[in-house]
Structure 1
Amino acid sequence: MKVYVTQEMVCTNNFLIFVYIVTFLPIQLVICHGNIYVDDGGPKDWPNKYPQCGGNRQSPINLPSICDALRINNYGNFRRSKTFTKKPNNVKVSVTDHGVEIKPTYEYGEQVTITGGPLQDTYVLEQIHFHWGSNNSVGSEHTIKSKVYALETHAVHYNFKYGSFKNAINQSDGLLVIAYVYYPQWITKSKSWNLLTKQFVYMSDTNTTESDITGFPALTDILPPFDSNYYTYSGSLTTPPCSESVTWIVSGKPVPISTVRLRALRGLYGIQPGAINNFRPVQPLNGRLITVKINEAEYILKCIFGRIL
């Protein structure tokens, strides 16, 4: 007889039952991991352990309608490195205590960089990660007009002049996060998400927390480039230590994602409890300025005629 021990049994108070099973029966053991969104009171208690989490420039926030924010149209276009349109040699996928992280690597140690727009410096891509919920009504960290989305992607960058993420994290201009929110749709096309979905299912089935993907497409597939219709504001990391060193750029155009891909993400809960409902609630704005760039034609169509109609 083989008994399957769940994380709930191991990680809660059923210790005597667990000891009995370990002593007398063969088992398939599930590893117990932490969950920063539940352990020690979750996000509301982070400031007790990480003081910056109680600061005045915390993220995420509720964003206004792009028609109601302060428009600044003199931002130039973003300038992205050629690696942004180049296929990576490898993509490492890691399931952590706060979700899933992917990290592309390129030959000759090439980096993915971005500058321009509201940015004064060049920023280097460090990693990409995701926030999602147990159902389609929750998941995103940022909200738009108080609307919650099913998923949010963060592309985390550090300022090139500091040399590394570690050196940049405590600098006021140290980090950049480019974010996208997603809404569920029955069918969507994306080679990146096809590969990730298969990998998530494989990792769930094999209880694996790290794996590699080869043949991943250029990052333009998973991080659609834009030069307009976005928000920017000064904020923080949304996980401890909540460093207030982030320039946020949030796309104002929600992206569709299929329900199959969302289910694959949710399936990772079986190997890591932090891999579901891994979102921080919105934080107070505390007088911060949110600006948007939206070109004139988009503004007229969406914000003038759209409201009239």
Structure 2
Amino acid sequence: MYQETTVNFQIPYLLMEYRLLTLVLMVGTMQMQKIGNVIVEIYHILELVVTCGGSYQSPIDIVTTGASQQPVQPKIYYKNKASDVGYEEVNTPYTKEYEGEYSSIQVLDASGLVVRYYAKQFHIHTPSEHTIDGKHFDLEIHFVHQVNAIQDEEQDCNKVKNSLTVFGLMFTESASATDYEAFKPWFDQNMTGEVESFDLNDFFQKMTDSTYYHYDGSLTTLPCSQIVNWIVFYQPLPISTFQLNQFRATFADSTAFPLKQNNRPIQHLNGRKILKGTALTAGVTEIPDVQSSQACLLLLSIVMGAFIL
């Protein structure tokens, strides 16, 4: 079981401040024609500082007693099965992440509208980033989905409210849990960067309680854009000690995370409403595949990678 620590270094954010200080000091020694570029970089870093201090930041502590009831979510069912698509590992020193072309789902946004999203990537945080009634969990997986309406190659996904929906699934260490077949390819030493896909539905079908909590928030990594429609599931799934330790070993040699934890600290709610609902996970719903936007896929890679710069 995860034990809360009293010290929580957030090295990547400290590195961002260090970059700003270094750039300021460099101005006095650089040639005049380069000062303009430095000023632009300083402005960009200051912009990140302001965004990461916004009022709609994630993760949050979900206080269940204060949540308002929301209508039932549409069925969570991904049309594509294990033989349909491949998953490519993204090399990042701060998480275990896979990207691929998946099928779409229909999701309620925080305003109660049904919007079509399609899954783009998933990655892990250990311990969990969100807490429920003050409690951390051993692992949290984020399934990142992009809104179907963003098709324009020139459109910036990072500036469209609720352009992303992220499912947060919690996992708790269990001595009796069996290993997930879905996780095994993540740690296959013979893997060449792309692995045979698996059925994302497996995680949701294992839930006996599909209660979720829903709120408007942000990316938990730089640039902290406040564009995320968060759906955090209440029931943790069991994970074996062996597989949990495999995930934790991802950070064994990480200099960015000396405590071997890659979770962002809890952010203030700032008056936001938390909604409560139930997702339908049983049965089969045929949802047509959608055309992906390569521009937004590239942006997602940049957004997740920016955390380590």
Equivalent-residue separation in structure 1 for 2:234 and 2:172 (angstroms): 13
Cα offset, 1:167, TM superposition: 2.8
Given that 2:73 and 2:278 are in contact with CA atoms closer than 8 Å, whether structure 1 keeps it comes out as no
1:154 to 142, 146, 163: 142
Once the two structures are superposed, the pairs formed by residues 190-209 of structure 1 within 5 Å of their partners are 190-196=180-186, 198-199=187-188, 202=189
- Mapped pair 1:175 → 2:164: yes
User: Hey, what does 1:123 align to over in structure 2?
Assistant: 117
CA distance in 2, matches of 1:131, 1:55: 22
Q: 1:81 Cα shift?
A: 4.4
Structure 2 CA distance for partners of 1:95 and 1:164, relative to 1, 3 Å? farther
Judged with a 3 Å threshold, the aligned counterparts in structure 2 of structure 1 residues 186 and 286 are, in CA distance, closer, same or farther, namely same
**In the aligned structure 2, how far is the partner of 1:254 from the partner of 1:270?**
25
Point out where structure 1 has 5 or more consecutive residues left out of the alignment: 1-35, 106-110, 133-138, 296-309
- Once the two structures are superposed, residues 35-55 of structure 1 have per-residue CA deviations (whole angstroms, 9 ceiling, x without a partner) of x94145269999856121010
Separation (CA, whole Å) in 2 of partners of 1:277 and 1:128? 18
Q: Which letter maps to 2:86?
A: N
After superposition, residues 274-289 of structure 1 pair within 5 angstroms as 274=256, 276-289=260-273
Q: What TM-score results when the alignment is normalised by the length of structure 1?
A: 0.67
Relative contact order higher in (CA < 8 Å, ≥ 6 apart): 2
Work out whether 1:263 is the aligned partner of 2:245.
yes
Bigger drift between 113-122 and 54-63 goes to: 113-122
Distance in 1 (alpha carbons) for counterparts of 2:152 and 2:202: 26
3-state DSSP of counterpart to 1:265: helix
Question: Is the 8 Å Cα contact of residues 88 and 218 (structure 1) preserved in structure 2?
Answer: no
Does the 8 Å CA contact 2:87/2:99 hold for their aligned counterparts?
yes
User: In structure 2, what is the equivalent of residue 234 of structure 1?
Assistant: 216
Amino acid aligned to 2:14 = G
Structure 1 164/234 Cα, relative in aligned 2: closer, same or farther at 3 Å? farther
What percent of counterpart residues are identical? 27
Unaligned runs of 5+ in 2: 1-8, 21-44, 280-309
Give yes or no for contact 1:92–1:102 (8 Å, CA) kept in 2: yes
Q: TM-score, normalised by structure 2?
A: 0.67
**Offset of residue 280 of structure 1:** 0.3
Which residue in 2 is equivalent to 1:62? 61
| Distance in 2 (alpha carbons) for counterparts of 1:182 and 1:79 | 19
Structure 1 CA distance for aligned equivalents of residues 274 and 114 of structure 2: 17
Structure 1 position 116, deviation (Å): 3.8
Provide Cα deviations, 1:174-226, integer angstroms capped at 9, x if missing partner. 11111111111124232102332x33xx38xxxx9x72222x32111245587
SS of 1:146 mapped into structure 2 = coil
SS across alignment from 1:261: helix
Equivalent-residue separation in structure 2 for 1:281 and 1:103 (angstroms): 25
Residue type at the aligned position of 1:282: I
**Residue 130 of structure 1: CA displacement?**
0.4
Task: Specify the structure having the higher radius of gyration (Cα).
Answer: 1
